[in-house]
Structure 1
Amino acid sequence: MEKLGLTTGTQSLRRALMLLRLLGQHQEEGLSLTQVIERLPLERSTAHRLLTCLLEEGFVERQVKGKVYRLGIDAVQLGTAGMRRMPLLDQYAGLLQKLARISGDTVFFVIRQGDFCLCLQRQEGHFPVRVFTTNVGEKRLLGVGAGGLALMASLDDEEVKSILKRHAPSYAAMGFSPARIMQSVRQTRQYGYSCITDTITEGVSGVGCAFKVSPTQWAALSFGAITPRLPQQRQHELGQLLLTEVQSFKP
């Protein structure tokens, strides 16, 4: 066995998977070869060789203009197939149903995908006025919704500032300044859960909690409801509920 108990004879495979994971995190803008080697512990020749192989196999595509790499059609097809039956969703389906039943509100399950969060599941509560601000399969920048804010708060300040810088025009267009987001991130870390009020859609509020679902993957559960149903006291009650359920949950 190699150090850290990793399986021997898999170095090239691990490097290719690490590369695919990185490209998936930056699918929107793509990455150049230089940007890849800045982010991964790979020699330039090794990174180029891996990218060339993945190009030949259809798992990576290269945009000639700008010379950036993105996930290719074969990688996308694998991801789509995984979405049709994902063990992760099976593991947490019961918890989503329980939270929706207890609260009566809509519960969202999202995962981090690079600078974005991706909605994997949505469970409706029994309250007649339902909140569907995010659809399954929809992506949002980190820091915007309750789940995305909780996920962003799990990162260190340097990484948060890098994300804010990379997407500055998009955040500004939505009315989010770096100072405002950093303040929300610090508050989320203090509470252990995020609270938002009328930040995305007027009249809609939310509470979210982030947690690790694997050594490399973070997810978040969040409640969404009309603002009158989520005054400050109830936000904190639901935040504590999320913390308790996540900490005691055993997949």
Structure 2
Amino acid sequence: MTAEPALRLVDAAHPAASAEGVAPAREQERPETAGAQTLRRGLAVLRLLTRVGPGGLRMGEIGHRLGLNKTTAIRLTRTLVDEGFVLHDRAAGRYRLGPEAFAVGLAAEPSYELQRQAAGMLRALAAESGDTVFFTVLHGHESICLSRDEGDFPIRNQLIKPGDRWPLGVGAGSCAILAALPDDVVADVLARNAALRAEKFPRCTDASVLSLVRDTRERGYCLQPGMVFEDSWAIGVVVYDANEAPVASISIAALRSRLGPARSAMLGNRLMQASKELTAQLKA
């Protein structure tokens, strides 16, 4: 079992201190062919370049961050360059996403209508609360962060970045989605991601997650009391689509000192209202 990741908080007055989010989480790998492993590694390169933004990375940084030896990193990245998914800025010695990656993103964009519908509401929630607001979507047995909007409180929570993936049940938004699923699905999800939670998120045991699920169903929102990072608490609600199926979540993350009982209840009720408004928009 590895140690739990350290809490990452950023002082807004010193943006250079910004830290990277948690590495994407997925279930334990099944035995796979060499071809499947190569494909997975190539996709990992694309995912990494997506997260670091337009500045790109040097080849050595790509290999280091993904745990690849130099030869493998060079082979994968150059193949992606040849196919147009990655561009090589020779002057800067950096690699960044290329036109084919942009084309794939445009093709997938219609699937994210929900996030576009929510964008204005999410920005308003961040401004209203002063804290960090996340929007995540359900994807299999995981939740994927699509957006992060930051309030004006000087100490900002930067634990999650758009594109990060979390096992269902880990984090307030993810647990809010899980709580909206039937009991048999909840049991199946926890069985599938048990090993990953034990390794990466040791506080998120079956018992603790199930307790949060029960509390979430009773209150209507999930209050996650530092189970992922001790000093970072969060509140999350599920978002339903026009057919009343749970598809996403809205969550607010803040320092523990900012989420006392009264403010937690106020924000929880505000998030439930926002969720209902968003679903009504989708139905309309």
Distance in 2 of aligned mates of 1:232 and 1:217: 26
Tell me the alpha carbon deviations over residues 204-240 of structure 1, each in whole angstroms, 9 at most, x when there is no partner.
Answer: 1000000213546601000010110111221111000
In the alignment, the residues of structure 1 paired with residue 133 and residue 251 of structure 2 have an alpha-carbon distance, to the nearest angstrom, of 6
In structure 2, the partner of 1:206 is 234
How far residue 98 of structure 1 moved from its aligned partner, in angstroms, is 1.0
Q: 98, 105, 116: which is aligned to 1:80?
A: 105
Corresponding residue of 2:135: 109
2:273 paired residue among 237, 240, 244: 244
CA distance, structure 1, for counterparts of residue 276 and residue 209 of structure 2 = 26
| CA spacing shift, 1:172–1:231, aligned 2, 3 Å | same
Q: Deviations over 1:160-219 (max 9, x none)?
A: 111111122112222222111111101101111100111111211000000213546601
Tell me how far apart the structure 2 counterparts of residues 64 and 28 of structure 1 sit (CA, whole Å): 17
2:169 matches 1:164: no
Deviations 1:66-93 (A, max 9, x none): x9xx9998xx967633566843322111
Distance 1:79 1:157, change over 3 A: farther
How does 1:217-236 map onto structure 2 within 5 Å? 218-236=247-265
* Separation in 1, partners of 2:241, 2:159: 24
- The residue identity in structure 1 corresponding to 2:131 is D
What code does the residue aligned with 2:196 have? S
How far off its partner does 1:113 sit? Answer: 0.7
CA pair 141-79 structure 1, distance change in 2 beyond 3 A? farther
Alpha-carbon contact 2:171-2:224 (below 8 Å) kept: yes
Q: Number of matched residues? A: 192
Supply the distance in 2 between the matched residues of 1:221 and 1:147 (Cα, whole angstroms): 6
**SS at the partner of 2:228?**
coil
Identical aligned residues as a percent: 31
Q: Which of the numbers 131, 134, 137 marks the counterpart of 2:160? A: 134
CA RMSD of aligned residues (A): 3.1
CA distance in 2: counterparts of 1:227 and 1:170, whole angstroms = 25
Q: For 1:21-40, what aligned pairs fall within 5 Å after superposition?
A: none
| Aligned counterpart, 2:123 | 97
Is the contact between residue 27 and residue 196 of structure 2 (CA under 8 Å) also seen in structure 1? no
- From 180, 186, 197, the equivalent of 2:208 is 180
The answer to whether structure 1 residue 189 and structure 2 residue 214 are counterparts is no
Deviation at 1:248, TM superposition (A): 2.7
Residues 28 and 143 (structure 1 numbering): CA distance in 2 closer, same or farther, change over 3 Å? Answer: closer
Q: TM-score, normalised by structure 2?
A: 0.60
C-alpha distance after superposition, 1:109-128 (max 9, x if no partner): 00011111000000000111
Tell me, what secondary structure is at the counterpart of 2:145?
strand
Determine if contact 1:111/1:217 at 8 Å carries over to the other structure.
no
Residues of 2 paired with 1:111 and 1:163: CA distance?
16
Name which structure has the greater RCO, CA cutoff 8 Å, separation 6+: 2
CA shift for structure 1 position 247: 1.3
Distance change (3 Å), C-alpha of 1:79 and 1:141: farther
Cα distance in 1 between the residues matched to 2:118 and 2:167? 23
> CA contact under 8 A between 1:197 and 1:204: conserved in structure 2?
yes
Residue 183 of structure 1 aligns to which amino acid in structure 2? Answer: S
Q: Read off the aligned partner of 1:142 and give its amino acid letter.
A: L
